[in-house]
Amino acid sequence: MVNCPMCDSAIDVEEEELDEGDIITCEECGTEVRVVGLDPLELEGADEDDEDDEDVDEEEDGERWK
């Protein structure tokens, strides 16, 4: 069992069945969280990483046109 990084509620999952990158949903707050580490099991908000990727893409696009 692991805690949601957003609301700290326990998320009941079969840790052995998870792979890095899997998305699970917290039943308490409804947030989607991504598995970022397996030993120990570590979760982060799924949309946190997506926002970082968008910022990098925008920076790369701006550099191409300079």
Spatial strand order in the sheet of 32-38: 23-25, 32-38, 41-45
Q: Which residues contact 45 (CB under 8 A, 6 or more apart)?
A: 5, 6, 31, 32, 33, 34
Please tell me the predicted confidence (pLDDT) of residue 47.
79
H helices of 1-66, in order, are 46-64
Please tell me the predicted confidence (pLDDT) of residue 46.
87
CA-angle at 66, arms to 57 and 55, nearest 5°? 20
Residue 1 binned pLDDT confidence (cut-offs 50, 70, 90): confident
Query: Residue 46 sits in which domain range?
Result: 2-64
Q: What CATH number does the domain containing 41 carry?
A: 2.20.28.160
Question: Domain count of the chain?
Answer: 1
What pTM was computed for the model?
A: 0.65
Q: What is the pLDDT of residues 18-63, one digit of tens each?
A: 999 999 999 999 999 999 999 999 999 987 645 444 455 555 555 6
Please tell me the predicted confidence (pLDDT) of residue 61.
57
